[in-house]
Amino acid sequence: MIFNVLEITAPAFFLAAVGYGWARSGAPYDIPFVTRLAMMWALPALIFSTLSRTPLEPTALREIALATVALYGAFALIFGIGFRAAGLQLRTFLPPSVFNNSGNIGLPIALFAFGEKGLALAIVLFAVMVALQFSIGLAYVAGPGRGWEAARQPMVWAALIGVGCSYFGLKPSGFLDKAIALLGQLGIPLMLLTLGVSISRIKVASVLRAAVVACVRFVAAGAIGVGIGIAFGLSGAVFSVLVLQAIMPAPITNYLLALKYDAEPEEVAGLVVVSTALSILFIPLTLALLLGAS
């Protein structure tokens, strides 16, 4: 079991470590260019190709989508109450605790653990989260008037079209299908390498506070994920993907938004760096529990 879990999780963390080592060596890495390439082309292609090629039961799609909305709603409510009780600034600590890294780390882990079906389910969850983050989440950090940003995200549209193709059994034919799939194969390596490079460049304000918040968040998120899964009657891969994605660490996007809109970016950077480091322990542990229970 331990060997199987390490075999699943090690490739993702290895690629992130390669990106970290690349940046620390002083070699150039254009994060804006690579991020734009991934977000505008590679990830939408991966999302569309996976969903259009992987037959999913409409029930499973509906279950994971509804459970995802409930999951992030529960995160916002429970973590909001907790941070307010602890006297922490909600605008700083709530977004990186609610919206997690279900993309850079979550997608490859779901693929390695549960195959193409697991990846397709994780993509649906990721797309719903992106829509929530760039609408409600962005408006919360940046202020009113930013709520329609999600409509400009190619990943959201790729997910909607991909789900439609999966539902009706449609997909591009011939060279177009292969070209989209080939472009999509760039997505996961680019995300992981960029994660490592980004972590090497951001400055942390308080490691101790970030570690406490991250540890509590990992445990609470796992418990919430299990509760939502049970409440929605989920089982099998749908349940496992939901719980596994729930415990993913804080993503770089929250740091970038905090930096852009002056929401104590050093504090958010601490959560990103420390929670990503701790995920090396928490993700294999959670995966071992899920595989052992299945």
pLDDT at 115: 93
**What Cα–Cα distance (Å) separates residue 33 from each residue in 40, 152, 229, 257?**
10, 18, 38, 17
Distance CA 266, CA 31 (A): 19
- High-pLDDT (> 70) share of the chain, %: 97
Q: Which of 222, 13, 15, 241 is nearest to 115 (CA)?
A: 241
pLDDT at 173: 82
**Is 252 domain-assigned?**
yes
Task: Write down the residue that tokens 């459970």 correspond to.
Answer: 67
**Is 259 domain-assigned?**
yes
pLDDT at 166: 83
Q: Which two tokens stand for residue 103?
A: 């993309």
Q: Is the pLDDT of residue 184 over 60?
A: yes
pLDDT at 147: 57
Mean pLDDT, rounded, of the chain: 90
Q: How confident is the model at residue 146 (pLDDT cuts 50, 70, 90)?
A: low
Residues in the chain: 294
**Is 20 domain-assigned?**
no
Q: Which two tokens stand for residue 77?
A: 């409510």
Distance CA 100, CA 98 (A): 6
For the domain that residue 98 is a member of, what is the CATH number? 1.20.1530.20
**Is 17 domain-assigned?**
no
**Is 22 domain-assigned?**
no
pLDDT at 242: 97
Neighbours of 258 (CB within 10 A): 23
pLDDT at 46: 93
Q: What angle do CA 256, 197, 209 make, to 5 degrees?
A: 60
Distance CA 203, CA 281 (A): 22
Lowest mean pLDDT among 59-68, 82-91, 252-261: 252-261
Q: Is the pLDDT of residue 34 over 80?
A: yes
The total number of structural domains that make up the chain: 1
**Is 227 domain-assigned?**
yes
Question: Average of pLDDT values for 158-172?
Answer: 86
pLDDT at 138: 83
**Is 201 domain-assigned?**
yes
Neighbours of 150 (CB within 10 A): 20
pLDDT at 259: 80
Where in the sequence is the domain holding 8, given as residue range(s)?
2-12+29-293
Question: Average of pLDDT values for 156-163?
Answer: 89
Question: Average of pLDDT values for 14-34?
Answer: 94
Q: Which two tokens stand for residue 254?
A: 């929250």
Inter-axis angle of helices 90-98 and 207-231, nearest 10: 50
**Is 92 domain-assigned?**
yes
Name the H helices within 58-172: 58-86, 90-98, 106-132, 138-142, 154-168
